[in-house]
Amino acid sequence: MSKLLLEGGDDHAEAAGKHLVDALTLEAAGRSDGAAYLAGYVVESSLKSLLLLDMGLAAGEKAAKKLGHRLGDLSNAALALATLPTGKTARYIPKQTAGHSLYDPSNGWRETLRYRAPGTISPTTAKDWLIEAKAVYDSTIVPMRLDGVI
């Protein structure tokens, strides 16, 4: 359990780690679709953790819900907060690859991938998305844990 645990029981920081382990396990088992799907949630949960840390739990939760599952919008919000003089998350700016396919709202990750037929996501794409998800996780959640802020 992290310090970002919400009243309803949601814990985005914990979810990010859980989804990363599960995604890597699925990828190793040749389950590209499941691995890619969870990779998106690693990024989403990591970025929402930044909002919660920077804005406080109540305001961060409201902002996170408004932004939903849109990785590009979540990324922009997290980066904007990190650049503010009062920002608490500048040290945890997510390492993201500009133009990465994961963030493409049309052809990249979206929560509705769970409804797609098996084989929709290629092993190469899944691996690429996992590399990106791990980079985001390692640059946000890991140092926040090490610093004791979550």
Is 64 in contact with 16 (CB distance < 8 Å)?
no
Is 115 among the domain residues?
yes
> Looking at the domain assignment, is residue 6 inside a domain?
no
Q: Quick one: tokens of 36?
A: 């890619």
For the beta carbon of residue 52, count every other beta carbon within 10 angstroms: 27
* Nearest to 53, CA basis, from 74, 81, 76, 72: 81
Q: Residue 71 falls within a domain, yes or no?
A: yes
- Residue 73: inside a domain: yes
What pLDDT score does 75 carry?
Answer: 95
Count of domains forming the chain: 1
Using DSSP, state whether 12 is helix, strand or coil. Answer: helix
- Give me the tens of pLDDT residue by residue for the chain, a chain 150 residues long: 999 999 999 999 999 999 999 999 999 999 999 999 999 999 999 999 999 999 999 999 999 999 999 999 999 999 999 999 988 999 999 999 989 999 998 899 999 999 999 999 999 999 999 999 999 999 999 999 999 999
Residue 123 in domain: yes
Asked if residue 58 is part of any domain, the answer here is yes
Tell me which residue of 5, 4, 3, 24 sits closest to 138, measured CA to CA.
24
Residue 7 lies in a domain: no
- Residue range(s) defining the domain that contains residue 89: 12-146
